[in-house]
Structure 1
């Protein structure tokens, strides 16, 4: 196919030898299958800030660090330089998260390089060598649904032990290869220690999993794995081997009204993201 304009600099630099086809287009990026020497990889081309939805969500930006105070001030003012820095922070967040999570044993694609707003990384494939399908399109039996749910909960725990929360985990950004689920799409990853909405984001990610798999295994709809996992993390007791039951004791203290308001706002944002994703898939 004709080389897209955003990929031309990578071809000129010898980072990509051939663009074979477009793989998918979503709310934050367009992904292409590319050839790098003898290897088939994928190139994720981030959309411009005004075409994305996540860039306006303050919750996803909280706790992210920049190189110096000048850059931080420029980002706060929204100057041209500040917008450029904000884009670099956004794009580097996924690269940093992928390296961090891979080191922690999380099943994520291997990143190779990020250049001119394009992330070149491993192409996740199925048993036949084709691009791996999204979890949303994989036929599931109750037994397989339970196995994948358990595997993904373990991935969530590994991520949190590494200090990272996905922030947008759902059946649409999980691929399934020959060994099982692989987590993708991490530019909105949240630092668990520095975000005031970390617990809500973690619980939302886990609830999304329960809601999806609960259509096949209804008992999962009553589980409380998110609260259980966060409770263990907050108490300093969470490890990759922590046994999980999906149950927590009923709270006895006063209701945190601010937390409830934040949860409502996150739920509204999640509903809007789902509708945007459906529109993207339809187009």
Structure 2
């Protein structure tokens, strides 16, 4: 097929030989299957902020660092230059997270290049060599549900040990490759230690996985892996070899009613936003 305008510069630079087909169009980006020499890869074209249904919420961008102080001031003021810088920072966040997580051994697509708002990365495939399906397009046996749930918990732990929380993890952004689940879509990833909302996002990520796989293996619905995981992380006792039990008991003590109410309000707002994103995707 003819290369879309946003991919033409990569063709001109020799980073892409041919564009095979469009793979998907989501809330944040359009993805194409491309050929690069003897390899088949995918090219993710980020949509402009005005054309995305997923907004750059303050919760996600909190504590993201920009080295250039001029850029920081422009971004804070919301000038045209600042908005362009914010958009570039949002796009590069996924690239940074992919390289960081790939280096930590997390199952994410291998990133190859980032040029002109296009991320060139590995095409995740199934056993037949076709583009791997998302979890939400697959029906699982109870045994497979338990196995893939455990595998993804291992990846979430590995991510947390690398200092990253996905922030929007669900059955819609995990691919089922020939050798198991692969986590995708990371522009909203947050720093576990530097973002005040990281705990809530981690708990929500783990809850989403529990609810999805709990459809096929109902006993998973009683587990509390997220709370257990974060508690170990806060105490400095979580590592990639930690064996989780799925059990957690909250320590007795005075309840921060205000904090609980804020969490409830945040959760409601995030669920409403999630439903909008799902409808748009």
Coarse TM-score class (shorter-chain normalised): over 0.9
Partner deviation per Cα, 1:99-138 (whole Å, 9 max, x = no partner): 1111111000000111111000000001111000101112
Gaps of 5+ in 2: none
Counterpart residue number, 2:107: 107
Counterpart residue number, 2:266: 265
- Aligned residues between the structures: 280
The answer to whether 1:225 aligns with 2:222 is no
Partner deviation per Cα, 1:68-112 (whole Å, 9 max, x = no partner): 211111101111111111111111111111111111110000001
Partner deviation per Cα, 1:25-70 (whole Å, 9 max, x = no partner): 1110010001111211000000101122443310110111112211
Counterpart residue number, 1:245: 245
Partner deviation per Cα, 1:165-213 (whole Å, 9 max, x = no partner): 0000000000011110000000110000100011000000000000101
Structure 2 vs 1, CA of residues 33 and 82 (structure 1 numbering), >3 Å: closer, same or farther? same
Deviation at 1:272, TM superposition (A): 2.8
Counterpart residue number, 2:135: 135
Partner deviation per Cα, 1:258-280 (whole Å, 9 max, x = no partner): 25413432343233323432343
C-alpha RMSD of matched pairs (Å)? 1.3
Gaps of 5+ in 1: none
The answer to whether 1:182 aligns with 2:216 is no
Counterpart residue number, 2:16: 16
Task: Kindly report structure 1 stretches of 4+ aligned residues shifted beyond 3 Å.
Answer: 53-56
Counterpart residue number, 2:278: 277
Equivalent residues of 1:54, 1:188 under 8 A apart: no
Counterpart residue number, 2:27: 27
Counterpart residue number, 1:145: 145
Alignment TM-score, normalising by the size of structure 1: 0.95
